[in-house]
Amino acid sequence: MKKDLILEIGSEELPAGYVPKALGALSGFLKKNLESARLSFDSVKTLGTPRRLTLIVEGLIDKQPDMRLEAKGPQLKAAYDAEGKPTNALLGFARSQGVDPGSLKTVKTDKGEYVTAIKNIKGVKTTEILPEILKNTISQDFFPKSMRWGSFEVSFARPVHWILSIYGGKTVAFDWGHIKSSNATYGHRFLGEKDRSARLKPIKVDSIESYIEKLKAAYVIADPEDRKRIITGELAKAAKEAGGSVLQDEGLLDEVSCLVEYPIVVRGSFSGDFLSIPRDVIVNAMREHQRYFSVVDAKGELLAYFLTVANTKASDMDVVRKGNERVLRARLNDAKFYFEQDVKKKLVDRVDALKGVVFQARLGTSYEKVERFTELSLFIGSKIGFSKPKEGDESASDYATKYFNPANYDSRVLDPGLYSKFVVGRAAILAKADLTSGMVGEFPKLQGIMGGVYAKMSGEIPEVSVAICEHYLPQVSGGALPASVPGAIVSIADKTDTIVGCFSVGLTPTGAADPYALRRQSLGVISIMLDKNFKLSLDELVDESIKLLQAKLLYSHSEIRNNVLEFFKERLKNMLLSQGLSFDSIDAVLSTPWYDLVDAVKRIHALEGFKKHPSCPALVGAFKRVSNILKGTGLEGAKPDPALFKDPEESALYAMSAGIAPVMERHWKNGDYEKVFETLASIKDRIDAFFDKVMVMVDDRDLKQNRLALLNSVRGLYFKIADLSKLVA
């Protein structure tokens, strides 16, 4: 019989960012524990608010299934001595299985007769197992930071006040620290009954329906998705009343839905004078500091209104509105002040101040970082053919001082390559200048955005302003990428310098920590390269970055290079797997030269298509044999001598291999990998005939080496494109 389980952990308010991750982790632990206990179920759902984390298991069986276990022991001849008495081996086996030696059975196998223990294990009732399972689930570490309170031994993100635990309508009783589980939950702390003691009375539940409905009656919307729907609808209604619509912000909506149990939308306003401040400043001030939503008109222009989501419905909501307006006014006054002070100074005049900003103690100042990634930006620009190479031995900063005067550059008359070079270099030099501005000091998330604004106001050309703003992108995994080529170049250079720099001084990510967000930054580099189809070899980029960091290195160039490239390789693998590409196709291509990311991904997609070719399984099997025979021979680059061929199959395979090699080379250079693999498939019958008729590992050393060299030439046909022996046939 199947029943439903509800587990709710009630605590003091959890940080909004903790709730979704904690629910995901709790769900995973509970599923694992139930499955380990052989308790099947239909589904596990999660509900949560700032004060409660809830797991609902539907269709949980009420008893473990019975189980029959067979354990193979010693061979029969080793189980009994000449007199038929049990040997020590048999007695030890019986003890280990917890059975009487007389109950052991003899079974026949291909390898002889063995003594076997057969145990029939009766399933245990779910109610007997659940207490320990639930206790173990709650005790797992699933928060970034946990705390202890009082003298209790248990830990959680915030002090826990109650645990609701019911299965089939009845309490699953267990102790967790000082908390005893029960069938009671609690409603909203401030809404409901006027009398506080009545409001805080326990609410007894016996089913999923009664849990959700009784909480709703007590002003708690337990489902985050329900709260989001309510908030979305109320926001749209309030914005419409103000003559506009809500500026869409899914991240803020997710966060706010985890800040409240019973959402109440409040609309407020601010002085239109503040609209003279750049739009991003106002939006950021409202979003980051107050969790307010912005309101825009039909053209997307900001209106002097804001929307906030409260957790309580006050007797006079006008007081709540005025309080929020007062707080926002102070924030916008600060922003206006910093903005007016910042624009008194040109952005380029802020670059020198970066010498006093430490990027990282071992890697130097932000000014040094800017010098490095400006050089790297110019390197990237020339490598992808976007701009001309830098001439002579001048440094990037010297180059900027001598040539980067916007007034001297006019895209209508200047050589396109030199103009592009100017845009890339100028954007890189100015990319971090806004770090010394008052606005970014007060609103750190405006880095880059304010740089773009101040660049434009300082008279920089539009391409430079845009690139400065874009070089921080993507800011989150899967986020927006730079739209312009200069922005993409500077973004890659900046991120690469950070990644290589951290690896150079031993600041590598661990399973628990990645303080410089190197995983996200490496994914950003990969995503930009693929999005822009940059023909840029990653190993050359890393080598150049290491050279620019030469004075900072704590390890050898080769060690840093290998570690960084392996780090990128793992990120690329994970990205491609998340896109639904097969592991074996990815592994086959990334086992060959893969540093041209655009080309490598193109090969993987072509290989995915080739796997559907009717000859593919047999061909893969043949190539596995080729790879296995060549393993450890050290014959890379060896070529066969046709004069030593003895069997016609050798000559036929050699002729076929030599014939298709130039065809495959032509298709390979054209990037037409589908035709490369189709051409390769034509060699299948020749390889099969070779292995059927020819013995490779013969006693004649010269003959053996020549046949191995022939197989090496066959492997060479595909080995630089994909190691087909890695495919799962």
Cis bond before residue 474 (omega within 30° of 0): yes
pLDDT for 391 equals 62
Instruction: State pLDDT tens for residues 499-521.
Output: 999 999 999 988 767 888 999 99
CA dist list (Å): 110 to 75, 80, 107, 114: 12, 20, 10, 10
Domain 590-726, CATH? 1.10.730
Q: Is the pTM of this model over 0.85?
A: no
Residue written as tokens 């928060």?
143
**CA 178 and chain centroid, separation:** 38
User: What is the per-residue burial (b if ≥16 Cβ within 10 Å, else e) of 693-711?
Assistant: ebebeeeeeebebbbbbbb
pLDDT for 71 equals 81
Contact call for residues 359 and 505 (beta carbons, < 8 A) = no
Average pLDDT of the residues of the chain:
89
The whole-number average pLDDT for the span 602-611 is 89
The whole-number average pLDDT for the span 690-707 is 86
Closest of 140, 169, 170, 172 to residue 23, by C-alpha: 140
Closest of 560, 559, 454 to residue 497, by C-alpha: 560
> Residue 77 is which amino acid?
K
The whole-number average pLDDT for the span 465-486 is 93
Q: Does the pLDDT value for residue 30 go beyond 60?
A: yes
Same fold, 2-63+125-217 and 590-726: no
Number of C-beta neighbours around residue 330 at 10 A: 11
Share of the chain above pLDDT 70, in %: 95
Q: Does the pLDDT value for residue 83 go beyond 80?
A: no
- SS3 of residue 676 by DSSP: helix
Instruction: State pLDDT tens for residues 516-567.
Output: 899 999 999 999 999 999 999 999 999 999 999 998 999 999 999 999 999 9
Q: How far apart are CA 541 and CA 525, in angstroms?
A: 11
- Return the C-alpha torsion angle 518, 520, 522, 525, nearest 10: -140
**CA 495 and chain centroid, separation:** 16
Q: What is the 3-state secondary structure (H, E, C) of 618-651?
A: HHHHHHHHHHHHHCCCCCCCCCCCHHHCCCHHHH
Sign of CA pseudo-dihedral 131, 132, 136, 137 = negative
Better-scored residue on pLDDT, 333 or 96? 333
Supply the angle between the helices 538-548 and 485-504 in degrees, to the nearest 10. 60
pLDDT band for 693, please (50, 70, 90 cuts): confident
pLDDT for 132 equals 95
Instruction: State pLDDT tens for residues 87-106.
Output: 888 788 888 887 888 778 88
Radius of gyration of the chain (CA): 34
pLDDT for 358 equals 94
Better-scored residue on pLDDT, 193 or 14? 14
For residue 43, what are the β-bridge partners?
A: 58
Contact call for residues 495 and 524 (beta carbons, < 8 A) = yes
Q: Does the pLDDT value for residue 81 go beyond 60?
A: yes
pLDDT band for 643, please (50, 70, 90 cuts): confident
Q: Does the pLDDT value for residue 169 go beyond 70?
A: yes
Better-scored residue on pLDDT, 261 or 662? 261
Which H helix or E strand runs over 358? strand 358-360
Q: What is the DSSP letter of 301?
A: -
Domain ranges for the chain, please list them.
2-63+125-217, 69-121, 224-342, 347-580, 590-726
DSSP letters for 55-115: EEEEEEESBPPPEEEEEEEEEHHHHB-TTSPBPHHHHHHHHHHT--GGG-EEEEETTEEEE
pLDDT for 403 equals 47
Share of the chain above pLDDT 90, in %: 59
Q: How far apart are CA 138 and CA 650, in angstroms?
A: 67
**What kind of architecture, by CATH, is found in domain 2-63+125-217?**
2-Layer Sandwich (3.30)
Which H helix or E strand runs over 668? helix 648-669
- SS3 of residue 109 by DSSP: strand
The whole-number average pLDDT for the span 182-209 is 87
